[in-house]
Structure 1
Amino acid sequence: MPDDTGSSDAMMLGGASGDARSPRGHAAFSMRGTDDRWVVIQLNTFRNWVSEQLRRSNCEIEDLQMDFSDGTKLCKLVEALQGKSVGRFVPRPMNQLQALENCTIALAAITRDNIKLVNIGRCFNF
């Protein structure tokens, strides 16, 4: 069993370094077995990051599922990240077709810049 005395074994296992392998290290380690809590933390972190990116557009994200559902904030996020316009999108979509068109415009702008979307999974109940 490693100790915190600074021995090489303790350093390799993270006992003295305070990394994720240490019981008192990284928060992710202490959350083993609490997948739901980890997902909530990740969603809140992402929501805060997106809101920070959209601050210049005077937008804020409160609920990722609802706020991205019509594609307008998604288009604004892509514009903020790319530093250029995605093109014309419907600022106040009146139906599902217009909302889908907005999402398509945002994803097309990402594709034009050869950005690949990876690790995109279903984490909401759509």
Structure 2
Amino acid sequence: MENHSSEVVYVGDNYDEDMPATERELAEDATWKIIQKNTFTRWCNEHLKCINKRVANLETDLSDGLRLIGLIEILSQKKMGKHNKRPNFRQMRLENVSVALNFLEAERIKLVSIDSKAIVDGNLKLILGLIWTLILHYSISMPMWDEEEEVEEKSKATPKQRLLGWIQNKVPQMPITNFKGNWQ
């Protein structure tokens, strides 16, 4: 008798064909997750290089809070409050990440369900969410994206809408109207 459980079976880079699409999308090595992780790592490193720091693995390298604090200081162009320079213990790492998250809160940057424990414990989904929030706030919202727009239009469009407009402007031959179906 065959076993038809919902067990995930991978062969190389290929998923088991019987696996439901939702399970494939949530799998640890789902293509979108790998691409997002690599892209966000490169984005972090692009900013961190000016202080001679880098991230090799988002899940572990932000856990002591030092690179996260460095990244936020670079992006915000403000100095962070007092933090542990050598966070050897878990409590010190939690405190450092809390310093960074509290700073973002004070800057009125909304973080949903992201706490210091999630970052210290390497919760990839929430770390990716945190980095995306930083990208939205500090990169996409910056004036360089709005060179051709009028001032009144800038204040009404969301960062996501402005990014889509920028992409449409850069590749006018491609009919891109959304971030889902058009990317396939």
Confirm or deny a common fold (TM above 0.5). yes
Aligned residue in 2 for 1:50? 44
Aligned residue in 2 for 1:99? 93
Letter in 1 for 2:80: V
Letter in 1 for 2:124: C
**Once the 2 structures are TM-superposed, how far is the Cα of residue 89 of structure 1 from its aligned partner?**
1.3
Give distance in 1, aligned partners of 2:84 and 2:44: 20
State the TM-score, normalizing by the size of structure 2: 0.46
**Once the 2 structures are TM-superposed, how far is the Cα of residue 119 of structure 1 from its aligned partner?**
8.4
Unaligned runs of 5+ in 1: 1-32
State the TM-score, normalizing by the size of structure 1: 0.66
Moved over 2 A (4+): 117-124
Whether contact under 8 Å (2:62, 2:68) holds in the other structure is: yes
Give distance in 1, aligned partners of 2:91 and 2:40: 27
Aligned residue in 1 for 2:66? 72
Q: Hey, which of these two has a bigger chunk of helix by percent?
A: 2
2:83 is matched with which residue: 84, 89, 107? 89
**Once the 2 structures are TM-superposed, how far is the Cα of residue 65 of structure 1 from its aligned partner?**
1.1
Letter in 2 for 1:83: Q
Cα RMSD (Å)? 2.0
Give distance in 2, aligned partners of 1:81 and 1:73: 12
Deviations 1:67-115 (A, max 9, x none): 0111111111111111011112112111001000000000011011111
Give distance in 1, aligned partners of 2:112 and 2:39: 18
